Amino acid sequence: MIIDSRYKVIKKLGAGLWATVYKVQDIRTNEIYALKLFQMLDSDSLYEKFSAENMHHITKLQHPNLIHVSNFGNFGKHIYYLSDYFEGKTLGAFKFKKSNIDLLYDIIVQTCYALSALHSQNIIHHDLKPENVVYRIKDNKPILKVMDYGFTKIDVQKNSQKIGRVLPYIAPEVYMGNEAVAQSDYYSLGAILYKITTGILPYSSEQISAIMAGDKHNLFPTFPREINPEIPDGLEKLIMLLLEKDPNDRIKNVESIIAHINSIQPKKYPYSRRWSIVNTIQFSDYIAREDYAHQLMDYLPIMERGNGKIISLTAGKGLGKNNVLTLFRYHLLTDRYYIFDYECSETHKDPFFALIKEFYQSRDTNEKLNEDLQNISHKLKEYLFQSEEEAALRIQDQKELDLDFQSASQFIYHLSDIKPLIFIIRAIEHLPNEVFDFMNFITREVSDRPILIILSTNDPRKLEGLIHSVLIKIEALDEDETRTYVNRLLRVSPPEDFVHKIWVRSNGNPLFIERILIDLTHSHKIWVKNKFQFEFDLDDYVLPDNIKHDIQLRIDHLSKKSFDYFVKLSPISTPLGNDLIKYILGIDDKELFFFLKEGLANELLCKIREFHRITFREAKKQFLSKCSKKEKDEVSRKVLKFFTNINLTIVPIVLGIIEHAKSINDFKAAREYYLRLVQLYSEKGKQKEAFSVMSEVIELDFAGKTEVADVDLRKDLKLLLEKSEWATVNDIS
């Protein structure tokens, strides 16, 4: 049995009320997974309980004590999820005795770490029970994983079968119809510990039925030590605290549970608030860019009517293109489409061969599909029926390429005759030229068929030879979106200036924002004395190496001409207007268009209103290092010449011109623009700033760096005196 054209069933692991769990092998990678198929619910019913966004969020959670859910898909009308396969025992097999109490404490703490990771994302497990906690012993230490979290929506039925199987581990507030909270999972942990240590459940089925009926509100479980005297006093107290019927009376958080365990035995389990915050930032980095996923979905009705498309999704690393594609696919887990999702790499770069192989081997292919593969090249035969690795080494001549183009295209067309075909190809920067030639070969026919091919890349150069492709570029977060994202990651609202600098340093890249905040927290720059403090000066902050590496990748994607243009522009201190860029580089409008297109596509330029700037300080520093002192001085002279006789009203432009004037010792020009800056600040009501700038003018006057006439010197002093009325003692000193 092969599920979803890809996962070969090795054996059945178990079955529940709604789903069956299989051990499977991915026929693409040979990796082993656990696959849970919801065969008792069709996709429409499951979508009512669990949205595409829920699915996507779950897959982003990674923690050493959680079974990672890596993917969702559909097999016919039924949804499945794929997770890590973990060999181990469930807690149902744990035999408590006095000699293994230390092992039990390890198990409790690791379970708490898993719950902390879930709760930091406002995810409640809902179904914590012995069967959902697995562990194995390695080097005399337990490795524990919690599974089946986040999407089990228990439909509480008042029947003895359901009560006996599920409800003993469910908190009373949940089976009484209230919403589950973090403390609900702590109750479940308490019920598990009660069962492990005593051999029985805290309440019988009859007692639970009575509680659900509204009777016996004062019913309490028997104290565990009355059943098993080997249970330590401190552990019994913990179990009873976890089993409080009122969630407000239970232990409030994981930190308190671990603190209690540390107080009753010699081992000290770590729970650093700083590390907890770092983990929270990592887990909270989920950002789906739903608007782009919905933009892709807008093409579905058009495609289904027979107007197919090839769409190219481009974005640098960290902007979320993979999230967009995954969320898009999670909206489509029905039997309505053929969906094929392929990730390219250095060793996997035959997406259309892979599509043919999976559909051909996993389905009862019809006569047309079989006919399409009767006349194919030796390379395709080897790929389909023997070794993909050996096939990849074969070099094809033009005749063989033409043969495969014809057979592969017909196979794809006939597949789309059965159902609309959606083909996602990720990381196309790894694809060889012949794959792009094939897409150009089929593009006209695709436009008349229910076929949607979506490509993604972080290297815009790969799209240059592709014809009739719809281009969608994922943009960086703007400053408002960055503020919202930072607030969500930190769970506090930092000052506006801090957020602005984070936005500038990251260029609104969500991954960069996350990495910067983790680095600042981990290094105690913003996490001081167990709380956030935002006094650290980000102006001199050095980005983490992994961000610098990603910036370098963007630089490496530039053409030689554009790289040289960036070098020439790097000394400029003013905002980069189009006319200034053309003047400095000596180019026309057409050349400007292509330069800006390449710079923006590689996220090395960003546009703010009518101006551009080089996005990353680290990139600008590298470009600047290629620029000689002579070239820098020449740029400064050109900047001064360009702005001569222009009525300037934008402060950053004037500030930049002053920097250029000073860099070539043109203090006369510097004084002129300082005075213009005083005027601009005064017009804006910024008198303190005007006083500060006027002080610079006076310093130039008296340093003998300008040949200022006495009458002008008196004017300067008079103006300084006027502005001093707005200054404080500190400003004057």
Give the strands of the sheet with 133-138, arranged side by side. Answer: 89-90, 133-138, 141-146
- The structure's pTM equals 0.85
Give CA separation, 347 vs 351, 397, 561, in Å. 11, 21, 31
Cα–Cα distance measured from residue 484 to residue 499, given in angstroms and rounded to the nearest whole number: 10
- Asked if 483 and 455 touch (Cβ cutoff 8 Å), the reply is no
Same domain, 29 and 59: yes
Cα–Cα distance measured from residue 121 to residue 123, given in angstroms and rounded to the nearest whole number: 5
Q: What is the DSSP string of 360-404?
A: HHHS---HHHHHHTSS--HHHHHHHHS-HHHHHHPPP-HHHHHHH
Same domain, 425 and 512: no
Same domain, 379 and 446: yes
Helical packing angle, 273-283 and 101-119, nearest 10°: 50
Q: How many domains does the chain have?
A: 5
- 388 within a domain of the structure (yes/no): yes
Which of 515-524, 576-585, 697-706: highest mean pLDDT? 576-585
Same domain, 312 and 461: yes
Task: Name the amino acid, one letter, at 626.
Answer: K
**pLDDT confidence of residue 152:** 55
Task: Name the amino acid, one letter, at 509.
Answer: N
**Which of 21, 51, 84 is where one domain is finished?**
84
Cα–Cα distance measured from residue 238 to residue 483, given in angstroms and rounded to the nearest whole number: 41
Write out the residue range of the structural domain in which residue 715 sits.
Answer: 647-733
Token code pair at residue 237: 């107290």
Mean pLDDT rounded to a whole number for the chain: 90
- 64 within a domain of the structure (yes/no): yes
Same domain, 337 and 351: yes
- 79 within a domain of the structure (yes/no): yes
- 97: domain CATH number is 1.10.510.10
Residue 181 above 60 pLDDT? yes
Residue 287, number of CB atoms within 10 A of its CB: 20
**pLDDT confidence of residue 163:** 47
**pLDDT confidence of residue 290:** 87
Tell me the per-residue pLDDT of 454-493, one tens digit each, with 9 for 90 and over: 999 999 989 988 999 999 999 999 999 999 999 989 989 9
- 578 within a domain of the structure (yes/no): no
Token code pair at residue 421: 């075909």
Please tell me what DSSP assigns to residue 431.
Answer: -
Share of the chain above pLDDT 90, in %: 67
Share of the chain above pLDDT 70, in %: 94
**Which of 541, 559, 590 is where one domain is finished?**
541
**Which of 490, 514, 541 is where one domain is finished?**
541
Tell me the per-residue pLDDT of 551-583, one tens digit each, with 9 for 90 and over: 999 999 999 999 999 999 999 999 999 999 999
Q: Which of 155-164, 223-232, 340-349, 413-422 has the lowest mean pLDDT?
A: 155-164
Mean pLDDT of 46-63: 88
Q: What is the DSSP string of 400-426?
A: HHHHHHHHHHHHHHHHHHHS-EEEEEE
- 43: domain CATH number is 3.30.200.20
Residue 630 above 50 pLDDT? yes
Mean pLDDT of 663-668: 95
3-class secondary-structure state, position 12: strand
- 192 within a domain of the structure (yes/no): yes
Same domain, 24 and 106: no
Same domain, 660 and 682: yes
Tell me the per-residue pLDDT of 4-34, one tens digit each, with 9 for 90 and over: 989 999 999 998 778 899 999 998 889 999 9
